[in-house]
Amino acid sequence: MSINNYSVIAMNGKQVNLEDYLDQVILIVNTASKCGFTPQYEDLQRLYEKYKDKNFTILGFPCNQFGEQEPENNDKVQSFCTLNYGVTFPLFQKVNVRGSEAHPLFKHLTQSLPYKGMDNNDPSSKILLWMLNEKYPEYLMDDSIKWNFTKFLINKKGNPIKRYEPTHSFDDLETDIKLLIKF
């Protein structure tokens, strides 16, 4: 099912219908400013700059549900991302991405693209899984988002295609983006 029926709130407070992104490949990411994965903003911005003229965009959704790693208000989040990482892709107001208070968009994404695990050979995945097992074992019980910087790739028709856990390779992600842009 398409994401085109959902709306979100931009940092400026205006409602944005996701159908406005029809005919674009979209990468939806839940983000945080005080996370070990925060430097991924650099890679995300690089992808955005490289492919934005080829009907590709990134939609960032700050979230404070994981270790309270996004405690600031929306204005400070926007400033942090712009000043520290040069982020120019669209950022939206903070949302919950898991649990009963999750934004409907993220409920849809996790239902459409269930959790399939992490790469047990990747050192970052091992560390993240260890931490989740130790501190948040309930996060591993279902298909919900496990941590900050989980990504969802959406095709030009608005259909979720692939889910990437926070430790997933940006090389693989870029390969998948290039394939979708061509169609």
- Which residues are catalytically annotated? 35
3-class SS of residue 158: coil
Query: What are 144's two structure tokens?
Result: 């919900």
C-alpha–C-alpha distance, residues 81 and 84, integer Å: 6
DSSP letters of 101-156? T--HHHHHHHHHS------TTSHHHHHHHHHHHHH-GGGGSSSS--STT-EEEE-T
For residues 61 and 97, the answer to whether their CB atoms sit within 8 Å is yes
How many residues are recorded in the chain? 183
